[in-house]
Amino acid sequence: MLKSVNEEQLDALINQKGLFLIDFWAPWCAPCKQFGRIYEQVAEQNPDIDFVKINIEEQPQIADAFQIRSIPHLMIIKEGIAIYSESGSMPESTLKELLQQAQAIDVSEILNKMNQDEG
């Protein structure tokens, strides 16, 4: 499902502990428009996953909070953890493959590793 969100809505998504993607973009960015079409196509093919779009012009505080320095920028969050964060466009096949990999990741392993590193 494709949606635009504000800061409060994004916080709620993160707290839901599911998998979702974020496309950081701006209306003046040509590569963002190109990637946006791909992102929207993949979103339509995966209605059970939230595909979020954040316009950095309208929501600069969110871009700042995530330290977004160039766009387009794709971030994948699973169980409240950013498991992917990369700037640049990509073809549809790469985005689909990335999504499959994200779905397969066991976040509990990451959390265990983080807890071990802290202890």
- Catalytic residue positions? 29, 32
- What are 13's two structure tokens? 């998504």
CB neighbour class for 46 (10 Å; exposed up to 12, middle 13-18, buried from 19): middle
In whole angstroms, what is the distance from residue 20 CA to residue 2 CA? 10
Q: Which of 67, 57, 80 is nearest to 11 (CA)?
A: 80
Are 49 and 20 spatial neighbours (Cβ–Cβ below 8 Å)?
yes
Residue 62's CB is within 10 A of a number of other CB atoms, namely: 20
